[in-house]
Amino acid sequence: MKSSIGKKELALIDAYWRAANYLSVGQIYLYDNPLLKKLLTRAHIKPRLLGHWGTTPGLNFIYVHLNRVITEQDLNMIYIAGPGHGGPGLVANAYLEGTYSEVYPNISQDERGMKRLFKQFSFPGGIPSHVAPETPGSIHEGGELGYSLSHAYGAVFDNPDLIAACVVGDGEAETGPLATSWHSNKFLNPLTDGVVLPILHLNGYKIANPTVLARISHDELESLLVGYGYIPYFVEGHDPQKMHRLMAVTLDAVIRDIQRIKAATRRVGVKKRPLWPMIVLRTPKGWTGPKQMT
Ligand SMILES: Cc1ncc(C[n+]2csc(CCOP(=O)(O)OP(=O)(O)O)c2C)c(N)n1
Ligand SMILES: [Mg+2]
């Protein structure tokens, strides 16, 4: 797979991702000292910690990569986060983009605003730990795992220009509703409906327990997803530099596939059900976090 993406752009994507990750960790842990200008002490840490850091670097990684293809190709795309419990990630992105401060001017893009952004997360009088109505751009809060993919399909029916990028957690994938909703692709009309791009996020765990789809062999997983009617593209690894390139190249290929299927259908009509692409993203849970605490 080829992509025209250059080193400079990849470095910018990485910088954006690291900033989003920092802003996410800050929301989960920091009560004060948002830019770590002072030596970190216990007084700067929230007394009660809430939030799912584990899922967040993956959500942030997907977010920045989708933003690249959206802006480059002027796509009409919606981001659906099955692991909506990665709330700090989506809030961090809204803040980085400037939307958060537009809606909440007191959460400004400076040190004071950042301190407030961090303090308010899952704090009395603040904001919820999940993506919620308070999150700018959010149109639906879930809470119960299992419905991301059926919502994604619901969003694209009779909405032919929309691509719903749907992040599915590997734990979420074990729920009955999610396991069934892979089949919603059978109801999609490539002429009159939009497209769902499932992104199965294999970070190996649901909370801290092992997941089935991350433990079966590559071939078995591939066969399963092909059996559901998808063409899976695998993006696997832990070295951020390699992973940025692989994700960018894969997303370019996937968007090309989608556009090719759409164009062919417009030309010759619906002859048979197309096999839509999907992405399997395998990254470590809590990616980039410290391995040990001293
Ligand atoms: C139906 C349901 N059961 C349990 C929960 C509690 N819960 C929240 S997150 C989570 C683990 C999710 O794992 P996964 O989908 O793999 O997401 P990850 O955090 O690993 O990205 C669980 C069990 C829930 N929200 N909904
Ligand atoms: Mg998981």
Question: What pLDDT digit, counting tens, does each position of 37-74 carry?
Answer: 999 999 999 999 888 999 999 999 999 999 999 999 99
Tell me, what's the pLDDT at 2?
A: 57
- State the closest ligand 1 atom to the C-alpha of 170, by its place in the atom list counted from 1: 16
Position 199 in a domain: yes
The SS3 call for residue 201 is strand
For residue 283, the CA-to-ligand 1 centroid distance in Å is 17
Report how far ligand 1's centroid is from the alpha carbon of 173 (Å).
9
Is 290 domain-assigned? no
Ranges in the chain, pLDDT < 50: none
Give me the residues paired with residue 205 across strands: 210
Query: What pLDDT score was predicted for residue 110?
Result: 98
Confidence (pLDDT) at 221 = 98
- How many A from CA of 145 to the centre of ligand 1? 6
pTM of this structure: 0.97
pLDDT at 294 (0 to 100): 74
Residue from 144, 172, 209 to probe ligand 1 pocket by mutation (most atoms less than 8 Å from CB) = 172
Question: Is the CB–ligand 1 distance for residue 55 below 6 Å?
Answer: yes
pLDDT at res. 3: 62
- Alpha helix (H) residue ranges in 148-269: 148-156, 176-181, 218-227, 240-268
Q: Quick one: pLDDT at residue 165?
A: 98
> Is the CB of residue 191 less than 8 Å from the CB of residue 156?
no
As for how many domains the chain has, the answer is: 1
In a domain, 11, yes or no: yes
Nearest ligand 1 atom to alpha carbon 59:
21
For residue 288, being part of any structural domain is answered with no
What pLDDT is stored for residue 210 in this prediction?
Answer: 98
Distance 179 CA to ligand 1 centre (A): 14
pLDDT at 5: 87
Cα of first residue to Cα of last residue in the chain, in angstroms, is 43
Cβ atoms 148, 166 nearer than 8 A? yes
Q: Which domain holds residue 266?
A: 7-282
Which ligand 1 atom is nearest residue 146's CA? 1
Q: At 144, list the tokens.
A: 């119960």
Q: Is residue 293 part of a domain?
A: no
Residue with the smallest CA separation from ligand 1 atom 13 is: 206
- Is position 292 within any domain? no
C-alpha span between 86 and 151 (Å, rounded): 18
What share of residues in the chain are helix, strand, coil (percent, to 5)? 45, 15, 40
Q: Is 199 helix (H, G, I), strand (E, B) or coil?
A: strand
In a domain, 34, yes or no: yes
CATH number of the domain residue 86 falls in: 3.40.50.970
The pLDDT value given to residue 291: 85
User: Do 284 and 238 touch, CB atoms closer than 8 A?
Assistant: yes
1 domain-assigned: no
Coil/strand/helix, residue 183? helix
Residue with tokens 């802003």: 23
